[in-house]
Every structure is written in C-alpha cells, then in structure tokens.
Amino acid sequence: MKLLKIVLTSLAFASALAAQTITVAAAANLKYALTDIAKEFSKESGIDVKIITGASGKLTQQIMSGAPYDAFLSADVEYPAKLAQGGFTTTPSQVYAYGSLVLWSDTGADLSKGVAVVADPNVKKIAVANPKTAPYGIEAMNAMKYYKVADAATPKIITAESISQVGAYVTTKAVDVGFMAKSIVLAPDMKNVGKWVEVDDKAYNTIDQAMVGLKNGSPENQIAAKKFLRYMSSPKAIAILKASGYGLPAKK
C-alpha cells in the first residue's frame, strides 16, 4: 500500500508539473515572435505559456491593479522600472531586444518618400499607437518631429490602442499608412501585406525592450516565470528574435 501511495503521489506531482501554466504579459509588438518562443519553451520545460498582449502602459496599469501575470515583457525600460520601484517584481529589469520602427501601407502610398509621405495631401489618415501607453507610438511621434512633418501629420493621426490595432487599421485599409514594429511586418501572416520601409533609427530613440518577473502569481509560477525569462536568452529564442527583426543586447 505504501508503494502504491508513493507511486500515486509521484504521478499526481508529475501531472501537476505538466499542467503548470504561466501567464506572460507582453507588448503587442511581440505577438508573433513570443508565440514561437513560448512553443519552444513549452516543449523543453513542460510549462505552458499563456500570452496576453497589449500596450505596455496598459499592461503596467493592469499589473499594478493586481492582474495575475507572472512575467512582463515591455516595449521599453521605463515601465518595468516603474513596476520595480513599486515593489511588483521578482527579478531585475533586463533588456532582451531592441525594436525597429517601420512605416507600412496597403493602399499604395508612396513610401519612397519615407516618413515625409505623411505630409503628402494624398495621405489622409495615419495610424499611430497611443503615445501615452505605447512606446512605439512615442517613437513614431519623435520620427515625425525629426523630419519636421509632425504639424502636417497631426490632424490626420488616428490613435490606436496598441501596435496590434495599428496593424488592423493598415490591413483593412482604414488608414493610408501606419507606424509599425518591424517584428509585425516580418511575421508570416503579414509579410505579403502591402509595402513597408524602415524608419531611419537616427530619427527616434532606441527602443530598448525590457522584461521582469512579477509577484502577482503563485510562488510556483514565480519560479517558472524566472525559467521563461532565462529562456529568452537561449539560442532558440535569440534565433527567433533575430528572424523577427529585433536587435539583440551584446553578450556579457
């Protein structure tokens, strides 16, 4: 009976481990890349990953309000720092990737003009992720200021909740152009949609994206989340991030 009890206990423990799921809050630009990374992580660890995407600022607000997320991958370093200062984190903030900004159109806008096209009278609507909550939106505004077209563009701007909504506006032709993360236009689902050009990185601040573990989940999930964050530096994760157009931190 003792042996049977030990076996049953071991099986129950193994089953519990196999069924473990962590919830990762992630900036919308990671939608495709992180899905692929999570699949590889799950294969190797047996830990499932549920991904919630959105604007980094909105996700930060949710975390501070008690949302049961186990890790947070932001599109900047400021929001993770804010969470650390508030005592919400279990790990130091770490930059995992550098994002790139592109201008995307599915309406035939003349992208050979680069960012200056937003001032073209033929461009009536421009999608930008909300600069109040989305780091890519902040840098889109900075790029337009750099090229001195912000004043001409402002009346045409359609503010999106996140990069994901910018994508929806572009792919449905609701706007003429949209400022987008390079990682989205390179995704298999999107790479044949419309045309895009990279925005010169001198026109905007470096989009350094940082991650942290969170205290809102269970102690077991906190441990699993740390494993996932370490996996973000693994060869497989790095290969996926590179293929998705991200720059990567230099190895220490």
Give the model confidence (pLDDT) of 50-95 as tens digits: 999 999 999 999 999 999 999 999 999 999 999 999 999 999 999 9
Assigned token pair, 151: 């004043």
**What pLDDT, in 10s, does the model give residues 88-125?**
999 999 999 999 999 999 999 999 999 999 999 999 99
Same fold, 2-98+207-243 and 99-203: yes
> Which CATH number describes the domain made up of 2-98+207-243?
3.40.190.10
Alpha carbon 120 to chain centroid distance? 30
Average pLDDT, whole number, for the chain? 93
The answer to whether 231 and 213 have CB atoms below 8 angstroms apart is no
> Which CATH number describes the domain made up of 99-203?
3.40.190.10
Domain boundaries, the chain: 2-98+207-243, 99-203
Determine which helix (DSSP H) or strand (DSSP E) holds 31, and give its type and residue range.
Answer: helix 31-45
Confidence category of residue 189, pLDDT binned at 50, 70, 90: confident
**DSSP letter for each residue of 142-205:** HHHHHTT-HHHHGGGEEEESSHHHHHHHHHTTSSSEEEEEHHHHTSTTTTTSSEEEEPPGGGS-
Residue appearing with tokens 């909740």: 161
First to last CA, the chain: 53
Amino acid letter, residue 3: L
